[in-house]
Structure 1
Amino acid sequence: MGSDATTRRSGDGGYTTSTAFLEALAEGGVEYVFGNLGSDHPGILEAYALARAEGREHTLPRLVICPHESVAMAAALGHAQVSGVAQVVLAHVECGTQNIGGMLHNAAKGRTGVLMYAGASPFTQDGELFGSRNEFIQWIQDVHDQRGIVRGYTKYDNEIRTGANVKQLVRRAVQIASSSPAGPVYLVGPREVMEAEAPPQRADPAQFPPVAPAALAPDTVERVASALAGARQPVVVTSYLGRDRAAVPELVRLCEAAGAGVLESVPMHVNFPADHPLHWGYQWNDQHHNPLLESADVVLVLGSDVPWIPTRNRPSADARVFVVDEDPLKEQMPLWHVPAELFARADLATAVRQLRERVTELAEPSAVAARRATAEAEHERLFEQRSRREVPDGETITPEYLVALVRDLVDDDTLVLTESITNYPAVSWHLRRNTPGSLLGSGGGSLGWALGAAVGAKLAAPDRTVVSLVGDGSYLFGVPSSAFWLARRYDAPSLTIVFDNNGWNAPKASALGVHPDGTAARHDDFGVDFTPQADLAGIAAAAGGAWGRTVKAAGELPGALAEAYSVVRSGRAAVLAVQVPGL
């Protein structure tokens, strides 16, 4: 910063708290500020304009204008999930903060680092300070506890009260957001503070690194490794180990050393290569017993919030269960328990590496070979059964057929986002991703993540092709008019494939799960259909100039998929709505 910048008066283009705030973000590695702007952001806008006028816009993160806060948050999450670096969302006071709500849930439950910043209504009203109230809305938007709106989901929240230490506050916020388990943080800055002149300051980002990975204690390594090495039928259950791409090959080596099968429960990442002969498939809301899980004598849960549903499928009461996780007790979940003899907090890649080294020393080779042969036979049986479903039903397009065609279309480097909800199992079983980092889900349960996340993911990895597999409900929740406009403006095209079953299948399935013979079931009256059907592809075409098509017959699908994929690879967004069997 030049010395002349610090002497300018507030409001005259001086070096303000807003400028220091944005500089701190860039110095900490933040590439993008995804923003929905309002009356609380004049200082931010002035800081950007001044930087452009002075030819130093490269010293600030790029501002990406998002016409809806939910899309902004989803984009920030998508970028962070791909880049591994927390990004920033700019929200408009308490209104914009509440609009973020569903994606905030996904950030917290998916353990994705993101910094949310919102202004606050000015705290003076008679011109006492520069930036004082001058619009009627600023009285209406003044609430008792703006930070309290998000406190049930954030790891940290604070208010910027002075420009003198704003860089330190930003560094600390990003450090907390990025430390395992990662998650969202929230800062608030009143307009008078963000407009005020700030003194030059330093807060070296190198002094605010994320917390270093934690290892297992030696006696824990010995206990778990001994159990795996001596097991009759060991199984590993994981959901999100693949968030750390380096952990996936370590898990492969551990399972090969132990002869253990791997079961992915509600996976949102590539946790284990699908084609590996020790892969035992996927478990979602399965309402039936899993004999492979129930017959295991040693179960190692490595990074999972829901390793099984106790009322439907669970290990034998005699099984030895061990839980290793960065968040082993799920402290933010009021009701949670997995009966286990050991819970250990550790970085998953580090823990798996430790266990693999000790299991290799302890395991008897002939026993491991026998266990691997049994596990590999189960893999062949399971995936062969699923492969038989990959055919259409006449001209009716089944989800399994659709996903199998997508599998054959994409390459290993293609980044696939999944928000297919009731078709999550079909995507897992039939897409069969093998490359770590090539599949992402939101990690949470709030719909509408994929469309915005695809923009953020493309900005983070511009050379990769991005494909989203979504339900029609997820598509509409994603504010497609805003998301596809955003993709067009910032040259971030992706292919969105919609499982269009004309409604919300998930609430119907939930109702049938509780009332299988109830009145709703007898009368087929669930109130979840989308009649009249929206033109899903047409929304994207109108808002973002996307290529769009709706496919109803199986014979049309291969050609339509190939065309849509080609369009995206040439630089234009595409939406293919595929009508699958209805509710």
Structure 2
Amino acid sequence: MSCTTSQAFLEALREGGVEYVFANLGSDHPGIVEAYARARAEDRAEALPELIICPHESVAFSAAQGYAQVTGRAQAVLVHVDCGTQNIGGMLHNAAKGRVPVLVFAGASPFTQDGELTGSRNEFIQWIQDVHDQRGIVRGYTKYDNEIRTGHNVKTVVGRALQIAHSEPAGPVYLVGAREVMESEVPCQDPVRPIPIAPAALAPQVVDRLAEALREAENPLVVTSYLGRDPGAVPVLVQLCERLAMPVLESVPMRVNFPADHPLHLGFQWNTTEPDPVLATADVVLVLGSDVPWIPLSNRPRAGARIFVVDVDPLKEQMPLWHIPAECFARADPRTALHQLLERIGEQPDAGRLARVTAEHRRRTGEYAALEHPDGDTITPEYLLACLRDAIDDDTLVLTEAISSYQAVGRHLRRNRPGSLIGSGGGSLGWHAGAAIGAKLADPGRTVVSVVGDGSYLFGVPSSAHWVARRYGTPTLTVVLDNRGWKSPKLSTLGVHPHGTAAERDDFNVSFEPEADLPGIATAAGGAWGQTVRHPEELKEALAEALAAVGGGRSAVLSVHLPPVQASR
């Protein structure tokens, strides 16, 4: 029996665990389109991944990323030659920096022009989109790229790509294939099962050295950012910390790395402008899964502190400038390493240290709680997040892309259940819009809530995302912290020029006035429930209505007015 390369390619994806292909189709995909049509006509559609049509590539990519962040399984993204590839650029950055497996397939312009082979050039665009190095567009962000040159080994190529994508540090991979190759007839092939590399453990001498340092420390500390990529690692970290009465500080967290209400949790830090006392007094610091455990310019460990780095990516090889003055760098799976440490460290809780850490946890929590009220007639981020915290349950999945309010999200939502909060992992905005779709497909019975700034909301191509959500039945709630502008560039300018002309004149070029009807975009494109709230007394009822709409199968967008980032000009 024979099939086309396109059919074999799609079968290889399904055999490798890919359940969805998030696609923005183009002139390079006739073989893919025909393969899906044939499969449906022959009643074997289940042999191929389900096709999800996305009118914008960034939505398609972030949907695949969101699915993988919930399940750990890579999904596929189909984009159109060089143009579609460039449209995924920001989202590709997020998956690369967040270590999330995604497989991207892009067609390539046909390599014949006189009808020599099926798929030869027959549209003017195929000359314009023929570029020197299409794979080079993404090479700075992918773990692997390759061209499908023949259909005879397409399952081997796809299997290798998926194996590399899932192996730690995980990340995106990129394949291309010209129309002539994807249209060619090839013999049917056996499945290739992609098996990622096994989790790495600490060397015995490293376990001994680290365990001894933690046992002897007066003020040990764990700093983590993305340990919670593996939800199963979180309870193991809790067990180790309780055994040592060792506190945890979350730096730039994109996951639930440690229960926020646990007495050993000592807070969140992002662009911290002053030293954190817990970091400044620690004598042994275990950096366990973190790219930016602190910002040296303003907040660093005390001189002479012993620092150990344990990570699936301890050298940050894709970051040209990166340095931590550690005495040990070890490449290991965090959960595996934690189990090893537990085996070496006996029961030795320090009652005095536990009391001090617990008291500090209570002090910080009380300090945060004191901020959770409106400022007169004005809704504050802290009040909004406290109301949202009370409106959702522990199982709700929160997607956070609130940027200048990231720290407030951590302090006032206080997520406790592993896997109940995720961020993009990178710095390109708009991830939430597609990621919410992917997350809902991954766990249809779960409530999904995105907490975003108005800038992030607009970056997400909401017209496309809400149309996709409506078509494929993935209702979610989006809560927009709407300060009618870009607060982060203002904060960046103040960080460098605190007394400059921009500060004196409140002239930062960040206002979004006149304001857009943010819920109206979703209502028009996706039939969503939408409302803008301007007064504190409206907020709780609006949240309840929005969540009820989602529970009834309809997406919702609640835009909440906060103090404007800049006076209108």
TM-score normalised by length of structure 1:
0.96
Q: What amino acid is the match of 1:252?
A: V
Displacement of 1:318 after TM fit? 1.2
2:177 is aligned to 189
Measure, in 2, the Cα distance between the counterparts of 1:415 and 1:276. 19
1:25 is aligned to 13
The amino acid across from 1:54 in the alignment is: E
For 1:420 and 1:148, the matched residues in 2 are separated by: 32
Partner of 1:214: 200
Q: Of 463, 466, 474, which aligns to 2:445? A: 463
* Matched position secondary structure for 1:352: helix
Aligned to 1:313: 299
* Residue 577 (str. 1) matches residue 559 (str. 2): yes
Amino acid at match of 2:231: R
Query: Deviations 1:196-243 (Å, cap 9, x if unpaired)?
Result: 0011112431xx311100000111001111111111011100000000
Are the aligned partners of 2:107 and 2:179 in contact in 1 as well (CA < 8 Å)? Answer: yes
Contact kept, 8 Å, 2:395 with 2:420, in 1: the verdict is yes
1:466 Cα shift? 0.3
- The 5 Å alignment of 1:467-546 reads 467-546=449-528
Supply the RMSD in Å over aligned alpha carbons: 0.7
Please tell me whether the aligned partners of residues 437 and 469 of structure 2 are also in contact (alpha carbons under 8 angstroms). Answer: yes
Among candidates 212, 219, 234, match of residue 220 of structure 2:
234
Between stretches 522-531 and 416-425, larger displacement belongs to: 522-531
1:294 aligns with 2:256: no
Give, in whole Å, the separation in 1 of the partners of 2:314 and 2:244: 23
Tell me the equivalent position of 2:37. Answer: 49
- 1:486 partner amino acid: V
Between the aligned partners of 1:572 and 1:257, the Cα distance in structure 2 is: 46
Q: Deviations over 1:351-371 (max 9, x none)?
A: 0111122122xx644xx2222
Equivalent AA in structure 2 for residue 499 of structure 1: L
What is the alpha-carbon distance in structure 2 between the residues aligned to residue 166 and residue 172 of structure 1?
10
Alignment partner for residue 381 of structure 1, among 356, 363, 366? 363
Paired position in structure 2 for 1:37: 25
2 CA distance for matches of 1:256 and 1:356? 11
Aligned residue-pair number: 565
| Corresponding residue for residue 531 of structure 2 | 549
Gaps of 5+ in 1: 7-14
Deviation digits for residues 517-566 of structure 1 (CA, Å, limit 9, x no counterpart): 11211111111110110000000000000000000000100100111011
1:452 equivalent in structure 2: 434
Instruction: Identify the residue that residue 327 of structure 2 maps to in structure 1.
Output: 341
Aligned counterpart, 2:387:
405
What SS does the corresponding residue of 2:186 show, helix, strand or coil? coil
1:86-165 correspondence to structure 2 within 5 Å:
86-165=74-153
CA distance in 1, matches of 2:218, 2:144: 45
**Corresponding residue for residue 350 of structure 1:** 336
Task: Give the whole-Å Cα distance in 2 for the aligned partners of 1:401 and 1:178.
Answer: 40
**Counterpart contact for 2:264–2:361, Cα < 8 Å:** yes
Between the aligned partners of 1:406 and 1:97, the Cα distance in structure 2 is 37
Distance, in Å, in 2 between the alignment partners of 1:236 and 1:535 is: 43
Q: Distance in 2 between matches of 1:418 and 1:198?
A: 46
- What does residue 331 of structure 1 align with? 317
Distance 2:384 2:291 in 1: 29
Match for residue 62 of structure 1 among 42, 50, 53? 50
Q: Does the C-alpha gap of structure 1 residues 327 and 226 become closer, same or farther in structure 2, counting only changes over 3 Å? A: same
Deviation at 1:394, TM superposition (A): 1.4
Q: Does 1:439 align with 2:421?
A: yes
Q: Distance in 1 between matches of 2:19 and 2:506?
A: 50
1:76 corresponds to:
64
Equivalence map 1:251-262=2 (5 Å): 251-262=237-248
The Cα shift of 1:418 comes to 0.3
Which whole-Å CA distance do the structure 1 matches of 2:483 and 2:348 have between them?
51
Partner of 1:167: 155
Summarize deviations over 1:369-416 as a string: whole Å, max 9, x none: 222121111111111111100011112100000000111111111111
Q: Determine if the alignment matches structure 1 residue 200 to structure 2 residue 200.
A: no
Matched AA of 1:372:
L
Partner Cα distance (1:201, 1:158) in 2: 20
Say whether residues 1:245 and 2:234 are aligned partners: no
Does the residue aligned with 2:329 lie in a helix, a strand or coil?
A: strand
- For residue 275 of structure 1, report the CA deviation from its aligned partner: 0.7
Match of 1:273 in 2: 259
Give percent identity, aligned residues only: 70
The one-letter code sitting in structure 2 at the alignment partner of 1:59 is A
Aligned partners of 1:469, 1:545: CA distance in 2, in Å? 20
Runs of 4+ in 1 over 3 A off after TM superposition: none
Q: Which runs of 5+ in 2 are unaligned?
A: none
For 1:522 and 1:188, the matched residues in 2 are separated by: 52
C-alpha distance after superposition, 1:406-432 (max 9, x if no partner)? 111111111110000001011000000
Give distance in 1, aligned partners of 2:4 and 2:237.
Answer: 49
Letter of the 2:48 partner, please give it. L
Report the secondary structure of 2:531's partner residue.
strand
Partner amino acid, structure 2, of 1:342 = C
Within 1, Cα distance between the matches of 2:55 and 2:352?
58
Kept in 1: contact 2:22–2:61 (CA 8 A): yes
